[in-house]
Amino acid sequence: MEKRSIAVSERRAKWPISIGVLLLVIGCLPGIAAAFDAEPSFAKGTRIVSMQIGGGAQADIDNHFSGISYLDFMPRASYLPFAPFGSGWYRAAFEPGLEGWLQYYLGPQQATAGGLKAAFRLHAIGFGPIVPYLELTAGAGATGLRVPESQSTFTFILEGGVGLSVFLKPDLAINVGYRIQHLSNGNTSKPNRGYEANAGVVGVNFFFH
């Protein structure tokens, strides 16, 4: 029990450091030479197809901890209905879309989960080829995980996160980000403890005009 508590504490310590590094990079972006203009890539009517993979580990937020960890695959399709807005460093683009999720649990047992989410990103496009973003996803699906935190087959999923996209060319970018994930059945059945997890995501994004 003591070893597990130490491991949880170490994992908690690493996430603030990682987030701090990401925020430091974002803070330094205005000093980066912006020879590339990302705005045409986010023009109104653009379609974006993304292939993403990631993984996460349970965050011991409410003192219930089963040691949940997982890998996931998250294909995404988006359409930009609005032109970019704002000016200067505050120039932004809004990306609504749909994101599938297929989750494979590594522990404390092997199981799968999957479903469909509405997905939204707000991109800061005034930094040249490096584009920071905020994101939110929300959806529903089914899970085969059976631990005290998750006993029902039906589940809601809610995620919030931050990340960076790096454009290799106007129609191709890679992204890396952090998400906090919450899964629960929304009181559709008892118990409804649910769980939270810290997660990372890496993807490649194709832009079509």
| 181: Cβ contacts below 8 Å, ≥ 6 apart | 56, 157, 158, 159, 196, 197, 198, 199
Task: Tell how far CA 155 is from the center of its chain.
Answer: 18
**SS3 state at 59:** strand
Position 31 scores a pLDDT of: 47
Kindly give the parts of the chain with pLDDT less than 50.
1-3, 5-9, 13, 26, 29-34
How much is the pTM?
0.81
How do residues 151-179 score in pLDDT, each as one tens digit?
899 999 999 999 999 999 999 999 999 99
Position 103 scores a pLDDT of: 97
Position 87 scores a pLDDT of: 86
Position 50 scores a pLDDT of: 98
Where exactly are the structural domains of the chain? 2-208
Position 151 scores a pLDDT of: 87
Cα–Cα distance measured from residue 127 to residue 34, given in angstroms and rounded to the nearest whole number: 6
Position 8 scores a pLDDT of: 45
Position 199 scores a pLDDT of: 97
Position 14 scores a pLDDT of: 53
Position 54 scores a pLDDT of: 97
Position 193 scores a pLDDT of: 83
The H or E element spanning position 20 is helix 2-28
**Span 2-208 CATH architecture:** Beta Barrel (2.40)
